[in-house]
């Protein structure tokens, strides 16, 4: 509205004209999207949607990159436990976010299974990665009692367990694994295609982690451990190579997404959802590949 110019003139400060071309493109993509897609966020804090504010915005950013409107359906994982996964049949992709405690966990596991078996694009973040690991261990690797020691401390197959450096922590304040840590990306993986990089740094906030004792058992059944922390040898990312788009990470990529720089994991997740929506509507061929290296 020109307020900045009035202030600059009043203070006798020279300033150049605003350069808003990039933001104009953002506005155009928001107001006149070329397509739309529906993505489910399956969580247990869905009645307070601001709990997922960063995720919501990052999904919008991912849509901007494809000039797509992202319609977000918040699905209560406890409701899935009661009524089944039928409520997910109309969505084009499924995101399972972070969280704490055992409430609603079986609903999240059911959502991950629905995505895996139904070949629906899946993106797991933090707890969402742990959920994907538990589901795969139970229903593919044959470890029927697989669980996280967070939810069932004495499970015979703790495929997710408390990190070693967290074992003696008694104060539950800012004592989780916090901050940015490096992740080495597996060459030739979906993760490498998404990031177009061999190593990344991402922000973390967790206490529980993939149990390395189960690496071989899950890899032998087809799970790819596509991201590893090089310092602590921790599993940071997993994917399913025989699935159209199934990827999960222990870190929180939503914290680094911006309107002008959508995080690649959200960008490509929305693209995968669009491809799935097109396949359902018969508007895209099976040869279309939405996961490809970006051209600068």
Length of the chain: 296
Residue in this structure with the two tokens 């690797």, named with its chain if needed? 141
Write down the catalytic residue from 150, 202, 209, 254: 254
Smallest CA-to-CA distance from 134 within 168, 173, 96 is with 96
126 catalytically annotated:
yes
Give the H/E segment covering residue 41: strand 35-43
Burial of 55 (0-12, 13-18, 19+ CB in 10 A): buried
**Cβ density class 102-118: b for 16+ within 10 Å, e for less:** eebbbbbbbbbbbbbee
Write down the catalytic residue from 61, 92, 204, 252: 252
State the DSSP code for 191.
H
56 catalytically annotated:
no
**Bridge-partner residues for 199, per DSSP?**
184
C-alpha separations of 95 from 16, 85, 169 in Å:
43, 14, 30
252 catalytically annotated:
yes
- Euclidean distance between CA atoms 248 and 270, whole angstroms: 14
3-state secondary structure of 68: strand
Spatial contact of 266 and 61, defined as CB atoms under 8 Å apart: yes
Write down the catalytic residue from 61, 92, 126, 161: 126
| Number of other CB atoms surrounding residue 139 within 10 Å | 16
Task: Tell me the catalytic residues.
Answer: 126, 252, 254
């Amino acid at each position: 509205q020109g307020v900045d110019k009035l202030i600059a003139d009043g203070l006798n400060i020279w300033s150049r004209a605003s350069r808003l071309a990039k933001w104009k493109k953002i506005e155009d993509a928001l107001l006149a999207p070329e397509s739309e897609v529906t993505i489910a966020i399956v969580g247990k804090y869905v009645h307070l949607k601001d709990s997922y504010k960063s995720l919501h915005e990052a999904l919008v950013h991912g849509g901007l990159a494809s000039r797509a409107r992202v319609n977000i359906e918040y699905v209560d994982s406890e409701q899935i436990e009661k009524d089944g996964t039928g409520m997910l049949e109309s969505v084009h992709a499924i995101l399972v976010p972070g969280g704490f405690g055992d409430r609603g966990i079986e609903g999240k596991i059911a959502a991950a299974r629905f995505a895996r078996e139904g070949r629906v694009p899946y993106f797991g973040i933090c707890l969402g990665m742990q959920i994907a690991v538990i589901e795969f261990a139970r229903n593919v690797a044959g470890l029927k009692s697989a669980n996280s020691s967070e939810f069932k401390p004495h499970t015979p197959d703790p495929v997710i367990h408390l990190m070693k450096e967290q074992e003696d922590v008694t104060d539950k304040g800012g004592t989780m694994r916090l901050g940015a840590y490096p992740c080495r990306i597996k060459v030739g993986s979906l993760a490498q295609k998404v990031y177009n990089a061999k190593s990344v740094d991402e922000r973390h906030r967790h206490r529980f982690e993939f149990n390395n004792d189960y690496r071989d058992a899950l890899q032998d059944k087809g799970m790819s451990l596509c991201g590893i922390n090089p310092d602590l040898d921790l599993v940071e990312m997993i994917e399913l190579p025989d699935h159209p788009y199934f990827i999960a990470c222990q870190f929180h990529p939503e914290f680094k997404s911006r309107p002008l720089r959508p995080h690649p994991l959200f960008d490509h997740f929305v693209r995968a959802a669009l491809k799935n929506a097109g396949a359902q509507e018969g508007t895209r061929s099976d040869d279309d590949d939405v996961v490809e290296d970006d051209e600068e």
